[in-house]
Every structure is written in structure tokens, then in C-alpha cells.
Chain A
């Protein structure tokens, strides 16, 4: 399988008046064709900023200060805006938590979808309309002709997210970045959306980065998982490996604190403390102040090590199970 996206040593920093926020601070990963990568992290871990960096959507005071983003072999980090515009919505698409980020509230669905196609391709309007209709059908929207004439506000939240997904897949992109697309939705609707996204990636061979805070969602969806903490990927590997045999104490803690991993009615395994202040990051391993395995050696930044085909940033990989 060929590499669609290679991210190397990516650093995106925000230069605020209160100081430099190192939102993304040395991130590496690769996404191959037809593969789903789960990018998991808590708020402030830099997972969304990573997604925005790939799309070139970082606004001042933020900027990509270092690293490379190679898309289909071509460097796109800090590429000129016209070049990025040609990629966005065409070769790389994005799905947001709030579908209204992509949908224009004052335009009908058909206008928006047809324009999304015609912006990148010179085909007759009728063909574009047909393709839009088919795309809506593919994401499980009943009577797509009728829905095409609707305005976004006439649709439910779940429907809107489907339209956003259909729009993302319109130009058969090579990569889709989905940022918490199901977080605002109900359980039964979330299952429907994941189902449609999964089906489409299989049919089209589109690679996908699924950004979420919920390990359980990507457990059933992703081929690979990257766990982010404080701007860095701390553990990366095949889904089964990461979930069944986590090595980084943070991943161990996250998985261990899920209620289903604990005995009913007992206290949950918990990670102490709170996510670090982005302006006053601990030197060395950012997780050390909350880590049970931390030693004085952890005040130096752990290098990336490879263990059983996994990438890890930790001085003390948890090779034995959780002791709580």
C-alpha cells in the first residue's frame, strides 16, 4: 500500500501575548491508502491542530514552525495558499464536529454540493447534480432528490452530518480528516454515521484520519491508533496492540479508567492530576507529573522508541498489565 500522507516532526506553535503555546510539538505519522487512523487525545492535546495543520488552516498567531507534511509525495507544509486551495475539498476533505462549519446556512444543499464539484472539475451541471444525488444516497439519506432542495436548517443534526460526509466524499479525495464528527450526536445516530463513513472508505479506498477523544469509537473503526498528549504522539501502533496491550502509562491509564474495564461498583482506576498548562509545560516527559511510573529520569524528554512495531515516547514502557 502506498503512503498518502507522511507527517514528520511537525511543530505548530501559537505565539500569544501570554507566551508560546506549543500546540503540536513534534508529531510523526504515516497514513496509507484505504487506511483509517484514529488520532486520540483529550482537549488541548493538539489533535485538532494537527488536523488543521495538514489542511494549512492555521491562522495567526499560530504557524507551522518546523517539520514536513508530504501528501502523495509532495511537500505541503507552508505551501502557498492557491496550491492548498486546490487540494482542500478536492484531494483532502475535512469533516467537522459541527456540520455547519462546512454547510452554508443560506444556500440550498444542491447549490453547495454542485459548487464543491465544479470548483475542482469542469463537468456539466447536470452531471454534478447526479453525482451529488448519488453521494447523498450513499450516506443513507432517504429520498435524496428531495433533500437536495432543502436548506441546512431543515435537516436534523444527524442528517446534516451525513450531508457533510457526502460532500467530503464528492470528489473522491485521497484523504479525509474527520474531527470529532460524532461527538455531538446520539448513540444510535453515531453508530449510523460511523457505519456510513466506514462503508465509504472501503468502497473508495480513501484514507481517513479520525480525530476523537473516545477510544471506544476508534477501537471499532481504525486500523491504527495514535494517542496524543500535550502536543506529542506518545503511543502509536495497530489498533489491537494499542488497545489490548498498551505500553505508555497514559494509554494504560486511559484504557484502565473506562468503566467497562473496571469491576462494577468499584472505584475506577484514575489518572491523577490534570492536563498540563500549555504555557508552562513540564520539561522532559509532559505526562511525568501524573505518571505512576515516573522516576527522576523522566525530566529529560523521552526519545521515540520502537517496541513490537509500535512507536513510543516513554522511559518506562508498561510491559506488564495495569496494577490498580
Chain B
């Protein structure tokens, strides 16, 4: 028998280099992406810890005092704490309201992103795998969906369904599943024709196994990229809807609601009511997008050296 081949070299590759480990080290090569990821991590942390690190629960009407309304940043509230970012028209501490708003915005964005991803992935895989007429019909529906601006689709749906977190998530899912479906189908078609899939066929593996164990894991990279970008998009879409007054109700103020609330005071010089929630939204969306860009660069094999 031919001789057993020794490990490539003793030195650098001694430990198992998983694709994940390689991905992580490549991701942190970009300074901007590293900063963006830290900012995003901080934002998420603040949102999650909101109840413990804010002086006020803005949903609890008992804690909100109308007399505190429209105080500039740094003022002292009636209850004795300092409102570092000022307060809004109904006397909510803006710092607390922003963190609670972030909670809502992020969870709406992430929830709709995950649901749309799951639905889009299933439909896209089905299209790629079934081919023929099924694929044609699915992809025409996708084209139709993508030819409408997502904001318009979501706006119409919310107008029909009414307000509420569940309804807005549903609207965002309907507006966005098609992006995932198209991405998955495109990648799956490429992967399906690769030799490793042919090899799996030769080995008599079942179709389901080939699709889920072999093709799907290789489609995940572009999905993750689309997922981050679409989540950022969902967050700003939700803010848009809420700003227009058709999204979330006043009682559950997301960032969009907060911006809308402060809008009327802009001309009277009380900038902080809109600007601080706006900045929070900006930082969130930009940091997600920067992370998404770097993910795309790292995960796209064509850009690899």
C-alpha cells in the first residue's frame, strides 16, 4: 500500500482550523467592522439591560410625570434623577425611552428577519430543488413582490391589519421574504451543480439529506449577509411606519414613534426629543450595515485572495 502521508507541516496548521475559526480571524482584519461590531454589541447590551439601567419605565404611566415634559438635556426630574438626554412631550425620560425603544425596534427587526429568513429559505430551496413549473411560478411571485417597494407593501398591509407588534412583524415578513428566497435559490442552483453534490447522489444519499446536509450549509454564507442587511432594513422600515403613525402604538414607543413625537417640537428649538432617538436609530442601522458589509467580504469566495 502506498505510504501514509504525514501531516502537511508540523508548525502552523497543527490545530484543526475550522471554517468558523478562519472566518472569525478574517472578520477582525477590518478595523471599521470591528468597531461597528463593538458598537452593535453595546447597543444590544443596552437594549437588553434597559430595565436595570434606566431610571424610569416609560411604559409605566405611574412613573411618568407630565410636569417633566419637554425638559432640556441635563435637567432634574421631579422624581429626583437627572434626565441626561432631556424628556419628551409627555414627560418621559428620553434616555429610558430610547433604550426601551431600542428593545422594541431590535426585537421587531430580528424577529421579522428570522421569520422571513426561514420562510424565504424554505421557498427558495423548494424552487431550486423542484425546478420546472414550480420554480417558474415561485420565482415570478418573487419578481412581482420585489417589483414593489418594500415600504409600500408594508404600508398597505399595516393599513389593512391595524397596529400592534405582531401585525407589524407580519407586514415586514411579507415585505421581505422574497429577498431571502431569491438569494437561496440563486446559491442553491450554483451549489447543486457542484461535484460534491453529484458525489452525494452517487453515494445513494436521499434527496432530503442532500438538500439539507449538503446544499443548505453551503448556502448559508450569502443568507447571513442578506439577513444582516435586511434586518437593518426591517428596523428602519418599522421606524418609518411608526413615524407615519401606522406602525406601533404610542403606548409601546419604538424609536420611530419617539422621533415622530418630537417632530412637532423641532421648530420650537426642542431638538433633543427627535434627534437623540434618531441618532440611536442611525448608529444601530449603520453598525449593522457595516458588519454586514464585512461579512459579505469575508464570506464571498470571489473576493478572496
Does chain A touch chain B in the assembled complex, meaning CB atoms less than 8 Å apart?
Answer: yes
Which of A's residues lie within 8 Å of B, judged by CB? Answer: 17-18, 272-274, 276-277, 279-280
Query: Is A280's CB under 8 angstroms from B12's CB?
Result: yes
Distance between Cα atoms of A274 and B12 in the complex (Å):
17
Is A280 touching B3 in the complex (CB atoms < 8 A)?
A: no
Would you give the shortest CB distance from A237 to chain B, in whole angstroms? 31
What total of chain B residues lie within 8 Å of the partner, measured CB to CB? 9
Q: Which residues of A are found within 8 Å of B9, using beta-carbon distances?
A: 276-277, 279-280
- Can you name 8 A-B residue pairings with CB atoms under 8 Å? A18-B12, A274-B5, A277-B8, A277-B9, A277-B12, A280-B9, A280-B10, A280-B11
**Inter-chain contacts of A274 with B (CB < 8 A):** 5, 8
The answer for the CA separation of A39 and B143 in the assembled complex, in Å, is: 53
> How far is the CB of B166 from the nearest CB of chain A, in Å?
48
Cα A278 to Cα B144 in complex, Å, equals: 52
A272 near B12 (CB under 8 angstroms)? no
CB neighbours (8 Å) of A273 from chain B are 5-6
Binary contact track B6-22/A, C-beta < 8 Å → 1, others 0? 10111110000000000
- Distance between B5 CB and nearest chain A CB, rounded to angstroms: 7
Chain A proximity of B10: nearest CB distance (Å): 8
Q: Which single residue of chain B is at the shortest CB-CB distance from A276?
A: B9
Q: Which residues of B contact A17 (CB under 8 A)?
A: 29
Known: A273-B6, A276-B9, A277-B8. 14 other contacts (CB 8 A): A17-B29, A18-B12, A272-B3, A273-B5, A274-B5, A274-B8, A277-B9, A277-B12, A279-B9, A279-B12, A280-B9, A280-B10, A280-B11, A280-B12
Chain A residue contacts of B10, Cβ below 8 A: 280
Residues of B within 8 A of A (CB): 3, 5-6, 8-12, 29
Q: How far, in Å, is B110 (CB) from chain A's closest CB?
A: 34
| Residues from chain A with Cβ under 8 Å of B6 in the complex | 273
Distance (whole angstroms) from the CB of A42 to the closest CB of chain B: 16
Inter-chain CA distance A280–B8, complex, in Å, is: 10
Complex CA–CA separation, A276 to B9 (angstroms): 8
- Please count the residue pairs between chain A and chain B whose beta carbons lie under 8 angstroms apart in the complex: 17
Q: How far is the CB of B278 from chain A (nearest CB, A)?
A: 39
Least CB distance, A184 to chain B, in whole angstroms: 18
CA distance A323 to B11 in the complex (A): 33
Q: In the bound complex, how far is the Cα of B9 from the Cα of A17, in angstroms?
A: 18
Q: Which B residues are CB-close (under 8 A) to A279? A: 9, 12
Note all chain B residues with C-beta closer than 8 A to A277.
Answer: 8-9, 12
Closest 9 CB pairs of A and B: A277-B9, A280-B9, A280-B11, A277-B8, A272-B3, A279-B12, A280-B12, A274-B5, A18-B12
- CB-CB < 8 A to A280: which residues of B? 9-12
* Residues of chain B lying within 8 A (CB to CB) of residue A18: 12
A17 to B12: give the CA distance in the assembly, Å. 13
Considering the chains assembled together, what is the distance between the CA atoms of A308 and B6 in angstroms? 37
A267 to chain B, nearest CB (A): 9
Cα A274 to Cα B29 with chains together (Å): 31
Smallest beta-carbon distance B234→chain A, Å: 36
Q: Which residues of A contact B11 (CB under 8 A)?
A: 280
Q: Name the CB-closest residue of B to A267.
A: B2
The listed residue with most B CB atoms (<10 A of its CB), out of A17, A274, A276, A277, is: A277
In whole angstroms, how far apart are the Cα atoms of A274 and B2 in the complex?
A: 14
Give min CB distance, A274 to chain B, whole Å. 7
Beta-carbon nearest neighbor of B3 in chain A:
A272
Q: Which residue of B lies closest to A18 (CB)?
A: B12
Name A17's closest neighbour in chain B (CB-CB): B29
Give complex CA distance A204, B226 in Å.
56
Q: Distance (Å) between the CB of B280 and the closest chain A CB?
A: 36
Q: How far is the CB of B224 from chain A (nearest CB, A)?
A: 24
Taking the nearest CB of chain A, how far is it from the CB of B2, in angstroms? 8
Give A264 to B180 CA distance when docked, in angstroms. Answer: 56
In the bound assembly, the distance between CA atoms of A279 and B13 in angstroms comes to 11
Measured between alpha carbons, how far is A274 from B9 in the docked complex, in Å?
10
Assembly CA distance A274 to B8 (angstroms):
8
- Chain A residues with CB under 8 A of B29: 17
Complex CA–CA separation, A277 to B8 (angstroms): 8
Q: CA–CA, A273 to B8, complex, Å?
A: 9
Q: Which residues of A contact B5 (CB under 8 A)?
A: 273-274
Chain B: CB-nearest residue to A289: B6
In the docked arrangement, what's the CA distance between A155 and B109, Å?
51
Minimum C-beta distance from A61 to chain B (A) = 10
Residues of B near A276 (CB, < 8 A) are 9
Min C-beta distance of A74 to chain B, whole Å: 33
* Minimum CB distance partner of A270 in chain B: B2
Q: How far is the CA of A279 from the CA of B10 in the complex (A)?
A: 12
Residues of A within 8 A of B12 (CB): 18, 277, 279-280
Name the CB-closest residue of A to B6. Answer: A273
Nearest CB in chain B: distance from A324 CB, A: 14
Report the separation of the CA atoms of residues A76 and B198 in the bound assembly, to the nearest whole angstrom.
Answer: 50
For residue A279, which residue of chain B has the nearest CB?
A: B12
Residues of A within 8 A of B8 (CB): 274, 277
Q: Which residue of chain A lies nearest to B25 when distances are taken between CB atoms in the complex?
A: A17
B29's nearest neighbour on chain A, judged by CB, is A17
Complex: A276 Cα to B11 Cα, angstroms: 12
CB distance from B25 to the nearest CB of A (A): 9
CA distance A272 to B5 in the complex (A): 9
| CA distance in complex: A18, B10 (Å) | 15
The CA-CA distance from A322 to B121 in the complex, in Å, is 59
In the bound complex, what is the Cα–Cα distance between A279 and B12 (angstroms)? 9
Nearest-CB distance from B22 to chain A (Å)? 12
